[in-house]
Amino acid sequence: MQDHSPLAENQGTQSAREKNIQPDQVQRLKFCRTHGRVESPGRRREVSVGHERKTWRVAALIDRAGQACYLLVKNQSPRVSVAVGIYEAHLRSARKPPNTRRNIITECAYLYTWAEARQIDLDARLLTGTGLNVPEIRGFLHWLLNVHQTKSGTALSAATVGNIAQSCFKLTMFAFEQFGAVQNRAEDRAATHALIRASQRAAWSGALPPQQEALMAPDLTDKEMDTIEAFLNPEMRVDVPAEIAVRDYLMWRLTSKLGLRIGEVLALRLQDCPDGPRTPLKIVRVESRGRSYVDPRTPYAPRPKTRSRDLNPWEDLLLPGLLATYQMAHRRRPVSSMRPSAEAWRVDHEFLILSHSSGAPLSVSGAQRIARQIAEHTGVAFHWHLGRHAYFNRAYASIAGQPNYPALRDVLQYKGGWRNPNSLFLYTRRIVHDQAMGYLDAHQTALNRHLEGL
């Protein structure tokens, strides 16, 4: 007996659409694990979720325009969540960045896994605007907090559970507003929608534990920065080719001496670099790069998260020379010929930072490998964002207490690319902490001297 339900028809339509995917798109289809790592289709792994297996995964597809789109796919099945697909299309039309969309869909996979284990057809509910009732929401959050474990066997942090709950709340509210039928007069519907949204928000947030507020920005000590500087100095680093040594050192100076995010470093193009004295280094958001902009690293392309801005590379005296040296002497494609032509060295893209094993733009995972190498060789628990924190911790310390502090703080906010001035509170707390620790150190030193004199 054939199933003529709307859900079956949706699945049949989806299967028909899959048959029409172009071969080159199928070849470029990659799969993500829960935390966004790339996996080839032939090496898919299931992730343990408490006593259950995660039954949904995120699939990334490149559309005809070269842009990333994300689907929620049932493991070992052609079944695709239609509701999440519609929601992802909405996020794309709202110009949400690819990484943000991928993270949201990844977080919604937890809800689908939980629902399927309890024989709840979540897609059917969302497509009729039904969603979850309050006991079900509490049950899902209890499962996240008390049943689910990460791959390493630890529980999810309160912040992670909060992010998952926020994404799932937004998905269910989108489905209600898109597909739900409110049996009210037209003039009363807005008030009814607002009431339902408020009650749902209370249900999603009411069962969550309080999140610990980030007290202050992490930092690198002066000694740790000197250790990393000594390790990455191209003149002292003889264990790797010169082009890799210069590239890694350039990345370090851009993050620690100019405060760039690693995504901003990897997204730099040649036209963003200074081409002479008194010309800036430009940080340009992807949305401002035009419709013709294409990044071959899509769907995992790095994206500047902060505002577009111009920065002064001469703030670090070594940086302009490093940029010029890397572009002129080291930014080239590897070739096997003993006497290569100039054309053989040519790189066929506009991005500054290369993977010198292929000549392609350096990927985010490639940058993370470099950070792990730095940590292993220096003994410093290093990741790239620590360089940015180290820069802004020191920059904020230099303006604290100055007569023109408000203006200097605005400059610092611009340099960091933050929309909200409250983003600087992390660095304010760091200064307060360091000043308090300095006072405690002085007090402890005086006490020790007193004790020695007894």
Half-sphere exposure of 426 (CA within 13 A, CB side): 17
pLDDT top residue among 10 and 136: 136
Q: What is the pLDDT of residues 80-90, one digit of tens each?
A: 999 999 999 99
Q: For residue 142, which amino acid is it?
A: H
Res 11 pLDDT > 80: no
CA distances from 172 to 32, 127, 261 (A): 23, 10, 33
Lowest pLDDT segment from 8-12, 55-59, 92-96, 256-260 = 8-12
Question: Over the chain, what is the mean pLDDT?
Answer: 81
pLDDT of the residue at 177: 86
Give me the residues paired with residue 62 across strands. Answer: 68
Q: The whole model's pTM is what?
A: 0.69
Helix (H/G/I), strand (E/B), else coil: 370:
helix
pLDDT of the residue at 443: 54
pLDDT of the residue at 149: 67
Tell me the H-state helices in 20-121. Answer: 23-27, 82-93, 98-117
Q: For residue 328, which amino acid is it?
A: M
In contact, 433 and 216? CB cutoff 8 Å: yes
Place of tokens 């990345």: 251
pLDDT top residue among 242 and 96: 242
Classify the phi-psi angles of 169: left when phi > 0, otherwise alpha if psi is within -120 to 50, otherwise beta.
alpha
Q: What is the pLDDT of residues 406-427, one digit of tens each?
A: 999 999 999 999 998 888 888 8
Q: What is the pLDDT of residues 249-306, one digit of tens each?
A: 999 999 999 999 999 999 999 999 998 888 999 999 988 888 888 899 887 888 888 8
Q: What is the pLDDT of residues 355-400, one digit of tens each?
A: 998 899 999 999 999 999 999 999 999 999 999 999 999 999 888 8
Res 221 pLDDT > 80: yes
Q: Distance between CA 406 and CA 404 in Å, rounded?
A: 6
Which residue ranges form the domains of the chain, and what is each CATH number? 20-206 (no CATH), 222-389 (1.10.443), 393-453 (no CATH)
